[in-house]
Structure 1
Amino acid sequence: MHVPVVIIGAGPAGLALANFLQKSGIGCVVLEARDRRHVEERQRAGVIDHYAGRLFEEFGLAEQVIGGAPVETLLEIRVEGVPRFLDGPLLSGGRPSRLVPQQFLVRRLITAFEEGGGDLRFGAADVHPHDFAGDRPRVTYRDPDGVTHELTCDHIAGCDGFHGVSRRSVPDGELTTFTFDHGIGWYTVLADAPAPRYPLMAVSRHGFAAQFARGPHASRFYLQHQPGDDPRNWPDAYTWEQLRLRLGDDNLPEAAISGREVVEMRSFVAEPMRSGRLYLVGDAAHIITPMGAKGMNLALVDAYALATALVTAVRDGDDAGLRNYSDTCLRRTWDYQEFSRWFTEMVHDSGDPAPDAAFRRRLALARLDRLFTSPAAGAAFADMMAGTAL
């Protein structure tokens, strides 16, 4: 079977790319190693910034994919229990983001693609891209019945995440990789606790904490911890004690905890984001900390950049967009990496209790204060949160 584009991976990047291509009349097949239930129920937080939301509008998918999702209002930041509020949409000139958990987005993207007649194959094992250095790439895989298949194509999109096969298939020496460990751990718990009115971040001398709504009667909480310690072993009573301390809320009630995870605070970038006719998209090319909520948005913009370049190449025979794909995406990637690192330092250094961190703590508190006292600083922050154009 021959198809113009084979997409490896059915996460937000792969499914967005598949829908963009489908709306443009470009054929593609999506191969996903996991089964449908796993893909649709994989719990991940998510915010679609204003710019990424406009990409769905451009392809006529906004109402079907993100319609009805809550719109960003205020952000509460507490410092030593004292609340302050930042109006991101106002400061960014009326460009709100939307609160969209990843599983919500993925389900809707799957539905949109399949309703349009898309070819999405779950349970594809042993996926391997071949011959992408030439003009006749192919992808082999094994279906759930154990039958091996081969797809020839014109282009391959590697949307299979950090641990996927796509980046590992690039020949040695072609990629330069950059990694950074932020030296911070996050412990996140899902609890049946009343949701806060606004997304909440808090810093204190006890460390960083946050609380975000996961429906009207559930919250996800975040606690900074030292790497090497596994906070999933903390007693629930200690977890709630730390949340009360850091959120500055002595009346925060205990609630049943239904999920516990540890989030790695790390950054990674691979350059370039292509090898021949294999293009790396989203987490296959870069990992970013959750601060600023840019991970999923980077994946969506990568998908948009690749889709528009593929449409021009397949339809018009102009491959300039494909040649520039990596440079275009990497400019935004490094811009967002810098913003995420700046944000990470600001809220974590503000609550660093270590004696040798006193100077960094004062610097971070000055950064926080500037957001609320300088209109220019607040607008610059809100502009990055809303997303910037290519």
Structure 2
Amino acid sequence: MLELRSRDHAEKRVRAGVLEQGTTDTLVEAAVGERLLREGLPHRGIELRYGGAGHRIAFEKLVPGRAITVYGQQEVVKDLIAARLADGGDLRFDVDDVALHAIDTDHPYLTFGGERLDCDFIAGCDGFHGVSRPSIPEGVLTEYEREYPFAWLGILARVKPSAEELIYARTERGFALHSMRSPEISRFYLQVAADEDIAEWPDDRIWAELKARLETVPGFVLATGEIIDKGVTPMRSFVAEPMQYGRLFLAGDAAHIVPPTGAKGLNLAVADVRQLTKALVHRYETGSDELLDGYSKACLKRVWRAQHFSWWMTTLLHTFDSDDAYGHRLQLSYLDYVTSSEAAARTLAENYVGLPYGSLE
């Protein structure tokens, strides 16, 4: 494994924190879920808050036996690194000048820092700005992209969560999300302008705006505390297909990005790696390239389902053009439908907790 950043950076960078049922099951199956099961926070519902009321989407009723688990992505990374090193894995951090060669042949190889690594296959799990996708010749990939006219300002705070489950709040001031990472650490997001400068958001302003968007139901009081991390995340959707070329296979953000509203980024990456693992095991056990040849097609079914769900959640809950009265009424109408129709609520629930592996095949 070649990683541009340091191990310390990889293990401390704050990212996603909502694991689908399938992601949790995969980590447990891979024998890296012991700490996850011990420290993760299982959630069996979320709240949609709008119009001065909260509406719970009850996973235990709508999708029995399936839930989400709140467990920080950096904690997953720590567990994976520790397990790989314990097995004698060769993990290289602070690696630069990585280049991919001969990926359309049977003998691809990598060069980095004056070294050469000959490979059977290369998994490009190096994110949107990595070297893997740009190594595919021009004209091979078709890219689909959408940018949203807002961003998320996210904070991590040393304060006990003010609710037991995630709260997705739609207000006239913009969207807000109440989440958590542990019983003592909370995670919050605010919809802000796409070009927002984080320097314009001192802690007092952040808490005031979170209170204005979340304290909209009787009796709810938002607890505040020390903010230990904050930043602005752009909102965009991106898919490159196919997700493979020759002996190079793209996975995660190297191939696709979703807005964080649907909590799908990390989970899609795990689904990609699970599919690639299955295909590689099949190849080495049988000598057949059948599953490797079908890797992109198999992954893209789940990718596009998640793309649609993430787009839907984003357009349902965020404030767009303030002059678009028609769009505003459509949002409220659909929120009323989701919170009053069991069928509509089940659609949200089954996509949020993650469709079972095999269901899209």
**Fold conserved between structures, TM > 0.5:** yes
- Is 1:56 the counterpart of 2:27 in the alignment? yes
- Is 1:172 the counterpart of 2:134 in the alignment? no
Q: Tell me the distance in 2 between the aligned counterparts of 1:357 and 1:373.
A: 25
Q: Tell me the distance in 1 between the aligned counterparts of 2:8 and 2:155.
A: 22
C-alpha deviation, 1:80, in angstroms? 3.4
Q: Tell me the distance in 2 between the aligned counterparts of 1:369 and 1:203.
A: 12
Q: Tell me the distance in 2 between the aligned counterparts of 1:305 and 1:93.
A: 25
- Is 1:189 the counterpart of 2:159 in the alignment? no
Contact 2:62 2:345 in 1 (8 A): yes
- Is 1:265 the counterpart of 2:235 in the alignment? yes
Structure 2 gaps of 5+ residues are none
Contact 1:49 1:385 in 2 (8 A): yes
C-alpha deviation, 1:177, in angstroms? 0.9
Q: One-letter code of the match for 1:193?
A: V
Please, which moves more after superposition, 52-61 or 204-213?
52-61
* 1:155-174 Cα shifts (integer Å, max 9, x gaps): 01101000001111111111
Contact 1:192 1:219 in 2 (8 A): yes
Structure 1 gaps of 5+ residues are 1-29, 143-147
Q: One-letter code of the match for 2:188?
A: F
Going from structure 1 to structure 2, the CA distance change for 1:353 and 1:154 (only over 3 Å counts) comes to: closer
- Is 1:97 the counterpart of 2:64 in the alignment? no
Contact 1:32 1:124 in 2 (8 A): yes
Contact 1:139 1:151 in 2 (8 A): yes
Across the two proteins, how many residue pairs are aligned to each other? 353
- Is 1:285 the counterpart of 2:251 in the alignment? no
Q: Tell me the distance in 2 between the aligned counterparts of 1:151 and 1:296.
A: 28
Q: Pairwise CA RMSD of aligned residues?
A: 1.9
Q: Tell me the distance in 2 between the aligned counterparts of 1:115 and 1:234.
A: 43
Q: One-letter code of the match for 2:297?
A: D
C-alpha deviation, 1:384, in angstroms? 0.6
TM-score (norm 1): 0.86
Q: Where in structure 1 do 4 or more consecutive aligned residues deviate above 4 Å?
A: 64-67
Please, which moves more after superposition, 94-103 or 216-225?
216-225
C-alpha deviation, 1:58, in angstroms? 4.0
Question: What corresponds to 1:374 in structure 2?
Answer: 341
C-alpha deviation, 1:37, in angstroms? 0.9
Question: What corresponds to 1:345 in structure 2?
Answer: 315
For the residue of structure 2 that corresponds to 1:201, the secondary structure is strand
Contact 2:155 2:189 in 1 (8 A): yes
* 1:180-222 Cα shifts (integer Å, max 9, x gaps): 0021211112223331222112112111111112322332221
Q: Tell me the distance in 1 between the aligned counterparts of 2:252 and 2:328.
A: 33
Please, which moves more after superposition, 218-227 or 250-259?
250-259
TM-score (norm 2): 0.92
Identity of aligned residues (%): 40
Contact 1:80 1:202 in 2 (8 A): no
Going from structure 1 to structure 2, the CA distance change for 1:317 and 1:377 (only over 3 Å counts) comes to: same
For the residue of structure 1 that corresponds to 2:294, the secondary structure is helix
- Is 1:222 the counterpart of 2:189 in the alignment? yes
Going from structure 1 to structure 2, the CA distance change for 1:254 and 1:69 (only over 3 Å counts) comes to: closer
- Is 1:322 the counterpart of 2:292 in the alignment? yes
Please, which moves more after superposition, 356-365 or 298-307?
356-365
Contact 2:258 2:265 in 1 (8 A): yes
Q: One-letter code of the match for 1:331?
A: K
